[in-house]
């Protein structure tokens, strides 16, 4: 099976099931024999590239399709996007992009659609570039050029202005590096860097996080030196900063209220006792498995519980609560490009309501003098700063407290809270606030 066939199938599955692209892709690559080991990298590029660049690709495809795109079968539309992506955004010769995509469609049993896809892609290939709206309509121009939904571009322009918005859009289309966090119970960052260098891996220390490393083209993470021994965990630099910004006293018992997939729970467990809570038991099993790999199983308990409901008294006392709340995920579009097409503007208010409900339950278990750390991987103020402003107005017994570490290391702060945005720093967009209940 050629790489285009696999990419078409992956994209169609993602569209049909609303699953995360990375999960479907990993599963498909694990179960599919490819002609060349290098084809796995090509499949990955095609899947992520066609998803990131979907809006512009669809604009070009629609100009030559006699059928509405939403009426096409998922696999046929996926084939058109895979072909158009290669035409406009890869070094593949245009003739080969068309022929190999059509061949891939045949390999997955859709020979009946091969003529239609071939005809459309040949016309698309005759275009010099994707037709863009005039720059006089800046929001729509950027929306198509950088392939983001118009409502999101308009929001970012209003709040950040043109230069910052363009930087955020461009960064959200970049392929993110593999970033790992040193397991401090297993060694130091310097020791991990030396191990990577000995193995011939190109790795550089993260600029903001004192425990992170960035790797370029490392291949499958599970095959990296030090992975089986639990020397590191994959985690974006911004997410690492959240755990460090929390600055929870060592050996405190911490409730991680929405713990899956477990990166922050494991980070905290390096120096704290952690009760990892999530709604779904299957996700807790994955946290257990990762804790075992990192040799942190003695530091993490798990509990299946709906965090919108009161926590049971049986959880016992905790000194701090981390709430990495369910959110739009708009700060992680480079990692999860499918989210830009699934999220609607009204989702922001809906999720903000859910966040408030969970915040209320979390504050109930914070003792006097204890900490409540709130975080979201979103760029939107309704989920971040506005949420905390509202919480502090309704809970005068809490105050926002910025840790000295954040100020000393010059981390990006907004009104004392941690805030990172997609852009030149190469991090995901995160917001985190550290709240202290007055004694």
Give the max Cα distance, the chain: 73
Tokens linked to 162: 């043109």
Per-residue pLDDT of the chain (439 residues; tens, 9 = 90+): 799 999 999 999 999 998 999 999 999 998 887 877 789 999 999 999 999 999 999 999 999 999 999 999 999 999 999 999 999 999 999 999 999 999 999 999 999 999 999 999 999 999 999 999 999 999 999 999 999 999 999 999 999 999 999 999 999 999 999 999 999 999 999 999 999 999 999 999 999 999 999 998 777 888 899 999 999 999 999 999 999 999 999 989 999 999 999 999 999 999 999 999 999 999 999 999 999 999 999 999 999 999 999 999 999 999 999 999 999 999 999 999 999 999 999 999 999 999 999 999 999 999 999 999 999 999 999 999 999 999 999 999 999 999 999 999 999 999 999 999 999 889 999 999 999 999 8
**Which positions are annotated as active-site residues?**
377
Start-to-end CA span in the chain (Å) = 64
Domain residue extents for the chain: 3-125, 138-172, 178-234, 237-437
Query: How far, in Å, CA of 34 to CA of 17, rounded?
Result: 24
**Of 212, 204, 321, the residue nearest 258 (C-alpha):** 321
Query: How far, in Å, CA of 259 to CA of 307, rounded?
Result: 10
- C-alpha distances (whole Å) from 319 to each of 245, 262, 297, 350, 438 are 16, 19, 20, 30, 13
Assign domain 3-125 to a CATH class: mainly alpha
Asked if 378 and 429 touch (Cβ cutoff 8 Å), the reply is yes
What letter does residue 265 receive in the DSSP assignment?
H
Which CATH number is 237-437 given? 3.40.50.150
Can you give the pTM of this predicted structure?
Answer: 0.95
Q: Do the domains at 178-234 and 237-437 have one common CATH topology?
A: no
Q: Which fold has domain 178-234?
A: Alpha-Beta Plaits (3.30.70)
Q: Can you give 226-261 as a three-state secondary structure string?
A: CCCCCCEEECCHHHHHHHHHHCCCCCCEEEECCCCC
């Amino acid at each position: 099976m050629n790489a285009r066939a696999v990419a078409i199938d992956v994209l169609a599955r993602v569209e049909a099931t609303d699953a995360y692209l990375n999960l479907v892709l990993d599963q498909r690559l694990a179960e599919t024999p490819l002609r060349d080991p290098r084809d796995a990298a090509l499949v990955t590029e095609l899947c992520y590239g066609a998803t990131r660049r979907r809006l512009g690709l669809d604009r070009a495809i629609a100009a030559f399709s006699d059928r509405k795109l939403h009426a096409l079968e998922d696999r046929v539309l996926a084939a058109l996007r895979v072909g158009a992506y290669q035409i406009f955004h890869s070094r593949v010769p245009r003739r080969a992009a068309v022929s190999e995509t059509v061949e891939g469609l045949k390999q997955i049993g859709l020979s009946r659609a091969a003529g239609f896809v071939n005809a459309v892609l040949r016309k698309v290939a005759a275009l010099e570039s994707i037709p863009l709206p005039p720059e006089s309509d800046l929001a729509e121009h950027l929306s198509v050029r950088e392939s983001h939904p118009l409502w999101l571009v308009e929001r970012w322009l209003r709040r950040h202005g043109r230069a910052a918005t363009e930087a955020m859009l461009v960064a959200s289309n970049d392929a993110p590096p593999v970033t790992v966090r040193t397991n401090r119970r297993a060694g130091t960052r310097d020791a991990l860097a030396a191990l990577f260098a000995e193995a011939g891996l190109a790795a550089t220390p993260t600029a903001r996080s004192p425990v992170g490393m960035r790797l370029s083209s490392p291949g499958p993470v599970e095959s990296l030196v030090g992975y089986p021994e639990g020397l590191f965990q994959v985690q974006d630099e911004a997410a690492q900063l959240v755990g460090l910004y929390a600055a929870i006293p060592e050996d405190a018992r911490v409730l991680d209220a929405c713990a899956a997939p477990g990166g922050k729970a494991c980070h905290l467990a390096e120096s704290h006792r952690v009760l990892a809570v999530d709604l779904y038991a299957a996700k807790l099993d994955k946290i257990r498995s990762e804790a075992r790999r990192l040799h942190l199983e003695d530091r993490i308990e798990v509990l299946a519980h709906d965090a919108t409901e009161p926590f049971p008294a049986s959880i016992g006392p905790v000194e701090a609560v981390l709430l990495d709340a369910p959110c739009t995920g708009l700060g992680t579009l480079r990692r999860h490009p499918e989210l830009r097409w699934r999220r609607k503007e009204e989702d922001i208010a809906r999720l903000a309501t859910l966040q408030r409900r969970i915040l209320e339950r979390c504050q109930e278990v914070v003792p006097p003098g204890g900490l409540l750390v709130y975080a979201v991987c979103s760029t939107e103020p309704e989920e971040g700063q506005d949420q905390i402003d509202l919480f502090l107005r309704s809970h005068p017994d809490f105050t926002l407290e910025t840790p000295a570490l954040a100020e000393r290391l010059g981390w990006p702060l907004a009104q004392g809270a941690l805030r990172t945005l997609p852009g030149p720093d190469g991090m995901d967009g995160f917001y985190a606030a550290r709240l202290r209940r007055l004694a």
